[in-house]
Amino acid sequence: MKLNEHSQNLGGRIITIQVVAFVLLAILGARLYYLQVVRGDYFSERAENQRIRLIPIPAPRGAIFDRNGKILVDSRPTFNVVLSNEPIKGIEVDDRVDEYAKGLSLEPLYVRERLVSIKKQNDFETLVLKDNASMQDIAWVESHLLEFPELRVELQPQRFYPHGTSMAHVLGYVGEISPKQLESDEYRQKGFRPGDIIGKGGLEQYYDEFLRGTPGYRKVIVDSRGRVQSEIGKVEPQSGQDLITTIDLDLQNAAEQQLAATPTKRGTIISMDPNNGEMLAMASLPSFDPNIFVQGSKTKEGRKQIAAYWQDPQRPLYNRAIQGRYPPGSTWKIPESVAGLEQGAITVAHSNLACGGGIQVGNKFTRCMGNHGSPRLDAAITHSCDGYYYRLALKLGIEGITEMVEQFDYDKVSGIDLPNEKISQTPKSWRPIVEKREGKWSDIRTVYSGIGQDTVVITPISHLRAIASVGVHGQMYVPHFMKEFKSVSPVGEEGDPNYIPGRQGFTFQHPEAKLIPMTAEQNEMIVRGMWGVVNGGGTAAAIRIPGFDIAGKTGTAQVAELGKDVGGKKDHAWFVSFAPANKPEIAVLALVENVGFGGSFAAPAVKGVYEAYLAKKGIQPQADTDEGAKQ
């Protein structure tokens, strides 16, 4: 140390500086060890999380067809302008509102609302800013990519219901899963996430798991501003399974038209194949347009329309065929006739009961609309003799009527493949309530129940099922719309982590039909009575189609007491039927609310459906040569 002659211990000072330098470098080394070796995996993961993003590719939902392959529901491609929150974290809402509103022709208030809500969400969330984007919108977004990296155009298949209000109740609609559904275990276990589109109502809801596809995704690398740099993987979506329904679009259209032609335009017409339960048509009016729910829920006008549907006192959202409950009136006499014969209250040989123009129960006389003497069962059906059925009901007693209710499953849902089916109310369900309230079940209630009034309020679908069974010797099939689900091929290779197995096609699995025990003679007698209603000068003789024997029964159900049954409280008109009478191929039921006599309003509507059926089969109605001949 050459400078050491000075007293300052220079060498020591130099070494001190060197030691300080080494200590500082050692601190850096220790910190490096901690960050890279100890916590390396943690930071690797963080780096990966911020650069890799999964962009979902929506899966097309299965289409829905009628039995002849005509399209009932499909999905069409639309484009959404999507807002991602990440690039706009540090940006003021005010800086964007006007630009977006102008560029995409949106309401500034709406844009503000959307921007505020996206900024509140987690990283990497997206929100639809505008759906059904036009070509101009898309062009605007593409040309402002650099300015507004938060905007993106996304392909979104949108559910489309080409037939509008027709079949709306059967088909249902789709919409975003609700927050309430998301909270429920049922949906959470299936892995639903906010924004998922699910079926709501109708077949869309009932068969959601088959109609719904499995979404795919693009695995992409993004830069710090969320711009996609490259794609490192892609999993194709698997579309949902196509559903072939049992609906016959021509019959459905006929049913809709007939219903729309009634004075109140309220009610339901349903049709099924009595031989297997396949539903051919289900119309319920008033109806709604499912497209409004799909497209409109994001616009002001759409939400207004949806609210109007909910508030409408005519209740357009409710499916009268499975959710409406109506007194069946005289149509109730058909199951009652079966019960009378089966339980031995009457026999085929001795089926005559007095009409008496009505019946005296206690101090009250309940009258029949005519005087039919002492008719046989078939004549009582043909002419709808109330007196006959007052007495039959008394003979059966409340126990007998309860047995009949159980026999025909009026105390259960029909099991149709639609959600939210209601159970009918019957003397069986009312009895405990009445006995609690009034102390006893009085005979007059049994009498009323004999003509389908008072404690009898049933769903049209349960009724159609019961009536149709009479045409096929007591075979009660479960009504259904599902005919077949088509198969879907697998996505990817087996063994691949992203492999989605194919889905098998399958047809409706018929539960075993319930058998209503009745002899051929008993059955023949009832069918003869029903045949007479239309073809034997009965209550619906006006709808006779020569060469095509309809077996039916009219019903006129009182909504209010006699004398007050006017205007909005007019009777409900019923017509239940199957045809041809001896070997039915089709059963049709019509219920029209508050119009009056069943033979005048419901029966002609049913006739219209049969005519459509015959036109399809290429059968021309024969010239009417033997009007009212047989009985």
| Site for other proteins, rule CB under 8 A | 1-3, 6-8, 10-11, 13-18, 20-22, 24-25, 27-29, 31-33, 35-37, 39-44, 46-47, 50-51, 89-90, 221-225, 229-230
| Cβ closest to other proteins, residue 31 vs residue 510 | 31
Question: Residue 257 — φ and ψ, nearest 5°?
Answer: -65, -45
Q: Rounded to the nearest whole angstrom, what is the least distance from the CB of residue 88 to other proteins in the complex?
A: 11
Q: Rounded to the nearest whole angstrom, what is the least distance from the CB of residue 222 to other proteins in the complex?
A: 7
Q: Which residue has the tokens 């990283």?
A: 123
Task: Indicate the pairing of strand 243-245 with strand 64-65.
Answer: parallel
The three-state DSSP-derived secondary structure of 236-260 is CCECCCCEEECCCHHHHHHHHHHHH
Q: How far apart are CA 587 and CA 479, in angstroms?
A: 12
CB 273 within 8 A of CB 306: no
Q: How far apart are CA 440 and CA 350, in angstroms?
A: 32
| Cβ closest to other proteins, residue 54 vs residue 109 | 54
| Cβ closest to other proteins, residue 11 vs residue 195 | 11
297 labelled catalytic: no
From residue 549, give the alpha-carbon distance in Å to each of 306, 553, 587, 621: 44, 13, 12, 11
Q: Residues with Cβ < 8 Å from 219, sequence gap 6 or more?
A: 52, 53, 54, 231, 232, 233, 234, 235
Q: Which residue has the tokens 């909910």?
A: 310
Looking at this protein, which amino acid is placed at residue 451? I
Q: How far apart are CA 4 and CA 7, in angstroms?
A: 7
- Residue among 75, 84, 271, 330 flagged as catalytic: 330
| Cβ closest to other proteins, residue 45 vs residue 627 | 45
Q: Rounded to the nearest whole angstrom, what is the least distance from the CB of residue 226 to other proteins in the complex?
A: 11
CB 404 within 8 A of CB 512: no
| Cβ closest to other proteins, residue 50 vs residue 305 | 50
Q: How far apart are CA 592 and CA 478, in angstroms?
A: 24
CB 520 within 8 A of CB 612: no
Q: How far apart are CA 285 and CA 318, in angstroms?
A: 9
Q: Rounded to the nearest whole angstrom, what is the least distance from the CB of residue 27 to other proteins in the complex?
A: 8
Q: Rounded to the nearest whole angstrom, what is the least distance from the CB of residue 119 to other proteins in the complex?
A: 12
Q: In this structure, what DSSP letter does residue 458 have?
A: B
Q: How far apart are CA 332 and CA 558, in angstroms?
A: 13
| Cβ closest to other proteins, residue 29 vs residue 511 | 29
Q: Rounded to the nearest whole angstrom, what is the least distance from the CB of residue 180 to other proteins in the complex?
A: 33
| Cβ closest to other proteins, residue 229 vs residue 347 | 229
Q: How far apart are CA 378 and CA 361, in angstroms?
A: 25
Q: Rounded to the nearest whole angstrom, what is the least distance from the CB of residue 50 to other proteins in the complex?
A: 6
Catalytic positions are 330
